[in-house]
């Protein structure tokens, strides 16, 4: 059976890595209102002197441990410290184009769904162009034979 949770029950859940190191807590979860899918989670990481940094983490690379009742993010603390971070949620939301989000996915070595769809579309366009070219060449050969 699929485990379904309310977003409110996931906020403030702890996050740890596979080594059991505590990485922080989920501060917010973004939803893409066009697709209805979760875009990313905002991880509050407090390993900086006297302040917490916020990190947009691709939803696809988070897993949830039912046993520990927390999220698992398989990165080291050092990797997280070097990632693109924000001081406030407003900074994350303030950038309407979200180009930075593609950089976040790349940093964590995960392709966002829109990038996968774009690559699929490019591949499909290439196949269609090759088919059109073959049809044109065949048509030209037929005209030359006549």
Q: Give per-residue pLDDT as tens, 18-50.
A: 888 999 999 999 888 888 888 889 999 875 556
| Class of the CATH-defined domain 7-110 | mainly beta
Cα distance between residue 52 and residue 108, in whole Å: 20
pLDDT in tens, 114-146: 556 666 776 777 888 888 888 877 877 777 776
Strand, helix or coil for residue 73: strand
% of the chain surpassing 90 pLDDT? 17
Q: What is the pLDDT of residue 44?
A: 93
pLDDT value of position 93: 78
Please give the residue that has the higher pLDDT: either 89 or 112. Answer: 89
Least confident of 74-78, 86-90, 95-99: 95-99
> Parallel, antiparallel, or unpaired for β 70-73 and 14-16?
parallel
Confidence of residue 82 (pLDDT cuts 50, 70, 90): confident
Q: What is the per-residue pLDDT across 96-108, written as a single tens digit (0 to 9) for each? A: 555 556 666 666 6
């Amino acid at each position: 059976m699929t485990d379904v949770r309310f977003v409110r029950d996931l906020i403030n859940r702890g996050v740890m890595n596979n080594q059991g190191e505590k990485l922080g807590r989920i501060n917010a979860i973004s939803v893409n209102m066009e697709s209805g899918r979760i875009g990313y989670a905002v991880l509050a990481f407090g390993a900086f002197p006297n302040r917490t940094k916020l990190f947009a983490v691709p939803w696809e690379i988070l897993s949830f441990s039912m046993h520990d009742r927390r999220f698992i993010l398989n990165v080291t603390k050092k990797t997280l410290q070097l990632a693109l971070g924000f001081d406030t949620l407003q900074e994350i939301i303030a950038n309407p184009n979200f180009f930075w989000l593609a950089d976040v996915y790349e940093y964590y070595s995960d392709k966002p769904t829109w990038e996968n769809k774009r690559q699929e579309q490019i591949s499909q366009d290439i196949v269609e162009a090759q088919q059109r070219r073959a049809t044109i060449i065949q048509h030209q050969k037929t005209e030359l034979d006549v």
